[in-house]
Amino acid sequence: MTYIVIDFEATCWKFPKTPEEQEIIEIGAVRLDLYGHIIDKFSCFVQPVIHPELSYFCMELTGIQQSDVDSAKTFPLVYDQLLNWLEMYPDFSFVSWGAFDERLLRLNCQYHHLDIFWNRSFINIKKQYAQIHQLEKPIGLMKAVKTEKFEFEGDHHRAFADAYNTAKIFGKYLDDWVIV
């Protein structure tokens, strides 16, 4: 059993459009072994096709530039790369900070008429983290990293950095998560 901690960055606007218009523009993932140690990583930009021009808001929030996505492959090709990477260790559970990532992946697969390959749910550790710490409501990743007195490594709202920092929290509480 391994864990895939995954994060996506998506097209975004100051005044949001419909969720169906959001496209993945970056995928970041880390593979953790049974003991919570990082054993592999995946990181890739994705070229959006619905709204190929990134908004100023999106570039400011994520730090992803137009040139990063212009030179990237489209989602179906990157999705295929992700599937090939996942096949190296087929017995895994997905982990994400919140429900956004699973919903975004489903919407992007539907838009591009791609099979949704996973039959397992994403482990939403944002919600479980709040329960573990008896918080009134879930908190953001950055606040959780600070609560744990970890150093946030990388740039927040970048897929790999967010996945990596989520993985640190996941590893710390490995025995406390409810894994379905």
User: How many C-beta atoms lie closer than 10 Å to residue 84's C-beta?
Assistant: 10
- Residues 119-174 have pLDDT tens digits of 777 899 999 999 999 999 999 999 999 999 999 999 999 999 999 999 999 999 99
Give CA–CA dist 80/101, Å, rounded.
18
Which numeric CATH code is attached to 2-172?
3.30.420.10
Give CA–CA dist 100/118, Å, rounded.
16
Give CA–CA dist 102/47, Å, rounded.
19
Q: Are 92 and 42 in contact (CB under 8 A)?
A: no
| Average confidence score pLDDT of the chain | 95
How buried is 163 (Cβ within 10 angstroms: 0-12 exposed, 13-18 middle, 19+ buried)? buried
- Residues 84-96 have pLDDT tens digits of 999 999 889 999 9
Q: Are 71 and 56 in contact (CB under 8 A)?
A: no
Please report the pLDDT score of residue 32 as a whole number: 97
Give CA–CA dist 156/165, Å, rounded.
9
Give CA–CA dist 27/97, Å, rounded.
14
Please report the pLDDT score of residue 121 as a whole number: 72
Please report the pLDDT score of residue 21 as a whole number: 92
Q: Are 5 and 95 in contact (CB under 8 A)?
A: yes
- Residues 39-60 have pLDDT tens digits of 999 999 999 999 999 999 999 9
Q: How many CA atoms lie within 13 A of 86 on its CB side?
A: 19
